[in-house]
Amino acid sequence: MNRIQQENTMINQAWKKTLAATAVMAAAPLVQAAAYDISFTGGSGVLTFSNCDAQFCYDGSDPATAGGLISALNAGQVNINGVGGAVVSQGMLDPEDPLSRYTASARANVTGATLSASGEVLGVQSEGGVELFATRNSTLSGGSAKVTNLRFDLTNKTIYADLDGFRNAVGSPTSASFRPSLSINLPNQALWTYDSISGPTAISPADLAGADPLAALAAKGFTVTPVPGANGVDVLITARNTISGLKVTTEGFNFFRNSLGLTNAGISALTAVTDYGVVNSTLNFRATAAAAVPEPETVGLALVGVIVAGVAARRRRQLQAA
């Protein structure tokens, strides 16, 4: 074997070792753990006004058993409309008898959710709401109260809303007892606090990066569905939650009192309400698989392979020219 053949043999052996090492590294995963970007994709919430007190849950048959917020609304013959895309549903035993109303709820779209770095749902925002309105009777002088764009602060268990009210004028302008109309505008006002929330509220990155993210999330109470994604398999995640024990704030109570012009009888009826209702929500998220990023070792070894190949080719040319 001459000198050129010996040189070629040594170069080829070094090149084969480099290729073998590169192949081993290439067979390893590109990323150490699966990575996902989580985004909110939509949802809905239903606010159901309470119809129970400590003794009864009202079914519309006997007004003496009426309880909860429904009792106060019926006493004031307060009507409810949906605004801003929200849809109101009401149940009455007799459509001609306002005192037979036994249930009322409003469904609105959830437009946003805020998550922490650890996947905890910190807040939820809805769109639209309800308008309560009534004409003068024994419990109120008449007016309207709009409650829209609820914002749920899950950290502090507080529900905020945009509040807009209008109280009708009472009496003659020339009368000593005249009370002028009143407009109220309270954006992003703390309206209710709540006692508890049930259902999953945290999408853990550790669960998504685990061996079986679908099983891990399902065990936490989420509904999960794998779907094709641009970089692999994405996961559709749905959380169903119930917020219960709504308690009106002082500012919220005063808003209803002033907007509807509650009389002493109306104030007593509303004061007796200790639980305004529950909110049932459905929140949808998408966990999108992030593009794979090669490990530094993989990139480095690939570059070494390219360099060795170049050196080998140049060395062959030099030997052949000698």
Q: Could you report the average pLDDT of every consecutive run of 10 residues in the chain (322 residues)?
A: 53 46 38 68 98 89 91 96 98 92 98 95 98 96 98 99 97 85 98 98 93 95 96 94 98 98 96 97 94 57 46 54 58
Q: Based on the fold, state whether residues 137 and 56 are members of the same structural domain.
A: yes
- Note whether residue 233 is domain-resident: no
Nearest to 106 by CA among 89, 92, 125, 91: 89
How far is the C-alpha of 46 from the C-alpha of 241, rounded, in Å? 11
Same domain, 8 and 155: no
Q: How far apart are the first and last CA of the chain?
A: 16
* Statement to judge: residues 100 and 17 lie in one domain: no
Same domain for 63 and 25, yes or no, is no
Residues 8 and 84 in one domain: no
Alpha carbon of 94 to those of 58, 68, 206, 291: distances in Å? 14, 20, 54, 60
> Residues 190, 128, 154, 144: is their CA dihedral positive or negative?
positive
Looking at the fold, whether 181 and 250 belong to one and the same domain comes out as: yes
Number of C-beta neighbours around residue 54 at 10 A: 7
Q: What angle do CA 247, 148, 280 make, to 5 degrees?
A: 55
Residues 152 and 300 in one domain: no
Number of domains in the chain: 2
Closest to 24 in 3D by CA, of 309, 236, 212, 297: 297
pLDDT value for 320: 59
Q: How far apart are CA 104 and CA 229, in angstroms?
A: 41
Distances (CA, A) of 225 to 70, 159, 285: 39, 30, 11
**Residue 168 backbone phi and psi in degrees, to 5:** -70, 150
Q: Give CA–CA dist 66/251, Å, rounded.
A: 25
In a domain, 72, yes or no: yes
Cα separation, 144 vs 163, in Å, equals 11
Instruction: Give the pair of three-digit tokens for residue 62.
Output: 């006997």
Whether 76 and 14 share a structural domain: no
204 lies in a domain?
no
> Is 289 within the bounds of a domain?
no
Give me 273's structure tokens: 């309400």
Same domain, 104 and 185: yes
The pLDDT of residue 293? 59
Q: Are 8 and 74 in the same domain?
A: no
220 lies in some domain: no
Tell me the two tokens of residue 278. Answer: 């529950």
For 39, list phi and psi in degrees, rounded to 5. Answer: -130, 150
Quote the pLDDT of residue 171: 85
- Regarding whether 115 and 151 lie in a shared domain, the answer is yes
Q: Has residue 232 been placed in a domain?
A: no
User: Same domain for 51 and 22?
Assistant: no
Examine residue 209 and state whether it is found in any structural domain, yes or no. no
- The pLDDT, as a whole number, for residue 317 is 57
Q: Is residue 213 part of a domain?
A: no
Residue 279, domain extent: 41-196+240-284
